Structure 1
């Protein structure tokens, strides 16, 4: 979508608010940011549309999720080796923390969380997943991730391929590596790059993708959108920048530096559907939290975080440490922003389905990208 005069006015107003010549900078942080003065009506509208919430329910959920993110960090710290993972329970509005040691329950509950006793620690499950990551997976295996709810590593296989010898052999081998649960999906994951069409934020070669988040000096996006050294054209077709670093498969992230004449702002675009969102940090949302995505094809949609640290097995190869969501996406949304409240979460990688019938989408966490390239997130 072409930048409208309204968008230019919004950007200009933002620049005046934060100071001419550049906004206040902020580094990637694991600590939750201070409460914003108001909650965007666009965010509330999207949560009502995509999550089936009322306005009051959406506001209450955002407050509860902010508390859950803080409690999760504290619970992980005080439970130590007993920590078995955590997730946000939307029905109660509380964080649930899995523990292997009953003696830690009282301390964690004192933080305001519910607890569940489990057999395997998060460290043990991460070890199982690492052993699976060392295996070569056939395309009939969609991916695998640590699931704190089931206290296991969940391996997802494509239903139509579940009886194929290579898939069955992978599952059998996976079960020898630790606690594994197998589930089926009707769809194989794919990336969301698309052929060139007019009116979207950037192009490289004949591929159209979406900007993720502004960093000082450029922006982050998906690695499958372009290789290091590739030239980038902006929404208007003019020279915009260059891929300075890119990784795919294995990872799915990239850093694009921008040329003079372009500037960065701490904004996630609403594409005229909802008001633009300011980015104030990158505190990680827990499993179960609500999350929204902005992309150049399907604009703005919301859902929930389904899983973290998932290995996604694309046809091009496996990508590790991904986060799975119930948010839909389509071709051209690749690289676009995932945000929870005002906190940057990651860049769109791929998924299955579409925004008419629904689907699931994975993103590469933004803090990993910032650390990999030594970048500073542009925050308001």
Structure 2
């Protein structure tokens, strides 16, 4: 399956929007909004979805959400403590702990004092990011699916489609990639593809013959995927009524856009649960660590959950290369493009593309939401 990008709701959804339209308080800006740390029960429907998609008991799902909230806070503190020696971090769902990699010379005592487990590695995050940036500048053959910094491997991982590693153009690309720094080559069975087919996350919208999904409400509109439409293009809602216009869009290189709304449409801090779970309130945009659970809402396959697999991955779509995406084990299908990725009550990003489907499984990438907010000077609509 080639790489593709991802793009329904009923009157009941709009009625729900009206319910939440008056519930907003302080907005979240492009900067990370800290996750709430106060002890509070997780939404029952969210726990149920995690039970279904991650094979957890209710107790395990609730414990994991609590551990992930703690890990999000620990990660920020540990990164500050490690300074230039910081080499990345990842969350282990089994132990419920965050591991922080550091290079020699780090004040490991200060890092451990934050609550993190420490691993000594050779290459710093700065070195690995520089190596990846060099690889980003290389022309990539289609058989090279993606590449990203893997902190646990302490290397840049390059994913090559099965059966193509011996191709001359792939071998040449890998040789040039290795000259930039530590590279680990892994096989992937599929090449990624984009998933294109009231402003509530996961609800459908239409532009031309394309159906995409709303990502997150911002004040004045909503954000979604860039491949869904060009600046100036008109947008229509689930009921065919005019919603607004694409004010900004970038694809490839990036995969994000924002749409201004009017004509009786309004924004609300809600992501659709599609009856699988209750509709979810959005309370901020603190970035979840690698290994954390994450769920996606989209207009084709509705609500599915999985795990964050990698950050800052470069994905080589057939339409062009997109940088700084986050990879997940969540499935998606055409029409889900632009839809919401959320961890707990924290907005994470908008669906870009993937491989596979929600019958047999697959992987999906999203464009982090904080980059979109920062790029366009937008403010996330939060509860």
Alignment TM-score > 0.5, same fold: yes
Do 2:82 and 2:106's aligned partners in 1 also have CA atoms closer than 8 Å?
Answer: no
Match of 2:28 in 1: 26
1:259 alignment partner in structure 2: 262
Q: Does 1:2 align with 2:5?
A: no
Determine the C-alpha separation between the residues in 1 that align with 2:205 and 2:151: 37
Q: Distance in 1 between matches of 2:105 and 2:112?
A: 11
Which residue does the alignment assign to 1:225? 228
Unaligned runs of 5+ in 1: none
Is 1:64 paired with 2:67? Answer: yes
Q: CA deviation at 1:259?
A: 1.8
Shift of 1:307: 0.3
Return the match for 1:129 from 109, 113, 132: 132
Find the aligned partners of 1:318 and 1:24 in 2 and give their Cα distance: 36
TM-score normalised by the chain length of structure 1: 0.95
Q: Following superposition of structure 1 onto structure 2, how do residues 58-207 of structure 1 map, counting pairs within 5 Å?
A: 58-101=61-104, 103-194=106-197, 201-207=204-210
* Offset, 1:2: 3.1
In 1, Cα distance between the equivalents of 2:248 and 2:314? 21
C-alpha distance in structure 2 between counterparts of 1:114 and 1:124, whole Å: 21
Rounded to whole Å, the distance in 1 between the matches of 2:31 and 2:228 is 26
Q: Secondary structure at the match of 1:132?
A: helix
**Equivalent residue, structure 1, for 2:42:** 39
C-alpha displacement of 1:109: 1.1
Contact 2:331–2:358 under 8 Å retained in 1: yes
Q: 2: CA distance between counterparts of 1:372 and 1:232? A: 21
Deviation at 1:295, TM superposition (A): 0.3
Conserved in 2, the CA contact under 8 Å of 1:26 and 1:376? Answer: yes
Q: Select 1:294's aligned residue among 293, 297, 304.
A: 297
* Distance apart, 1:220 and its partner CA: 0.3
Report the alpha carbon displacement of residue 244 of structure 1 after superposing the two structures with TM.
Answer: 0.6
Shift of residue 31 of structure 1? 4.3
Q: Name the counterpart of 1:15.
A: 21
Shift of 1:24: 4.0
* Correspondence for 2:3: none
Q: CA deviation at 1:111?
A: 1.0
Shift of 1:235: 0.5
- In 1, Cα distance between the equivalents of 2:137 and 2:371? 20
Report 1:229-378 matches (<5 A): 229-378=232-381
Where 1:177 maps in the other structure, the secondary structure is: coil
Structure 2 unpaired stretches of 5+: 1-7
Q: Is the 8 A contact 1:223 1:253 kept in 2?
A: yes
**Conserved 8 A contact 1:229-1:242:** yes
Contact 1:233 1:241 in 2 (8 A): yes
SS of equivalent to 2:21: helix
Deviations 1:67-97 (A, max 9, x none): 1111111111111111000000111100000
Distance 1:258 1:108, change over 3 A: same
CA contact (8 A) 2:226 2:254 kept: yes
Go from structure 1 to structure 2 and tell me whether the alpha carbon gap of 1:324 and 1:246 turns closer, same or farther (over 3 Å shift): same
CA-CA distance at 1:27 after TM superposition: 1.9
Contact 2:37–2:70 (Cα < 8 Å) also in 1: no
Once the two structures are TM-superposed, the CA of residue 339 in structure 1 deviates from its matched residue by 0.4
Matches of 1:81 and 1:235 in 2, distance apart? 49
Question: 1:157 Cα deviation (Å)?
Answer: 0.6
RMSD across aligned positions (CA): 1.4
Corresponding residue pairs, total: 371
CA contact (8 A) 1:152 1:180 kept: yes
